[in-house]
Amino acid sequence: MLGVTLWLGVVAAEFAADPAKASEDWESLLDRGIAAYQDELFPDAAKLLEAAVKAIEEAGMRGDPLVIAMSNLAATRLAEADYAEAERLYQRVLQIVTPEHPEFPKVLNGLGGVYLSLGRYTEANELFQRAVGLWERKTDPPLDLAVTLGNLGSLARGRANLQQAEQFYRRALAIAEPANDTDKMARLLHGIGRVLLAEGRYEEAETAARRAIAISGTNGKTRQAVRASGVALLGSVRQSRGSLDEAEKLYRQALEIREGVLGPHHPETAGLRSNLALTLRLKGNLAAAAPLYVQALDDMRAAKGPEHPTIAALINNLGQLNEAQGKLKEAKARYEEALALWQKLLGADHPDVAAGFTHLAALAQKQKDYGKAERLFTRALEIDQRYYSPQHPRVGMDWNNLGSLAVARKRFAEAETMLERALEILRATLPEKHPDVGLVGANLAELYRVEKRNDDSAALYARSIGILEAAWGTQDPRLVPRLERFAEVLHARQDYADAEAARVRAVGIQVQQALHQK
Q: From CA 56, how far away is CA 48, in angstroms rounded?
A: 12
Q: From CA 405, how far away is CA 398, in angstroms rounded?
A: 11
* 270 burial level (CB within 10 Å; 0-12, 13-18, 19+): buried
Of 247, 254, 237, 228, nearest to 201 by C-alpha is 237
For residues 89 and 70, the answer to whether their CB atoms sit within 8 Å is yes
pLDDT computed for residue 9 by the predictor: 42
Of 435, 516, 462, 326, nearest to 508 by C-alpha is 516
Q: How far, rounded to the nearest angstrom, does the alpha carbon of residue 324 sit from its chain's CA centroid?
A: 21
Q: From CA 180, how far away is CA 256, in angstroms rounded?
A: 28
In the chain, what is the straight-line distance between the N-terminal and C-terminal CA atoms, in Å?
46
Q: From CA 128, how far away is CA 387, in angstroms rounded?
A: 24
Of 62, 1, 57, 63, nearest to 26 by C-alpha is 57
pLDDT computed for residue 261 by the predictor: 84
For residues 423 and 445, the answer to whether their CB atoms sit within 8 Å is no
Mean pLDDT by 10 residues, the chain (518 residues): 46 36 71 88 91 89 87 92 92 91 91 91 95 86 90 90 92 93 92 88 91 75 77 92 89 94 90 95 92 95 89 94 94 96 90 94 95 97 90 93 96 97 92 88 97 96 93 84 96 96 94 74
Q: From CA 208, how far away is CA 211, in angstroms rounded?
A: 5
> Position 298: which residue type?
D
Q: How many CB atoms within 10 Å of residue 116?
A: 24
pLDDT computed for residue 518 by the predictor: 57
pLDDT computed for residue 14 by the predictor: 32
Q: Cα separations (Å) of 195 from 87, 134, 153, 203, 237?
A: 28, 27, 9, 12, 11
pLDDT computed for residue 360 by the predictor: 97
Q: From CA 32, how far away is CA 76, in angstroms rounded?
A: 13
Q: From CA 240, how far away is CA 197, in angstroms rounded?
A: 8
> Position 244: which residue type?
L
Q: Where do the H-state alpha helices sit in 473-495?
A: 480-492
pLDDT computed for residue 43 by the predictor: 87
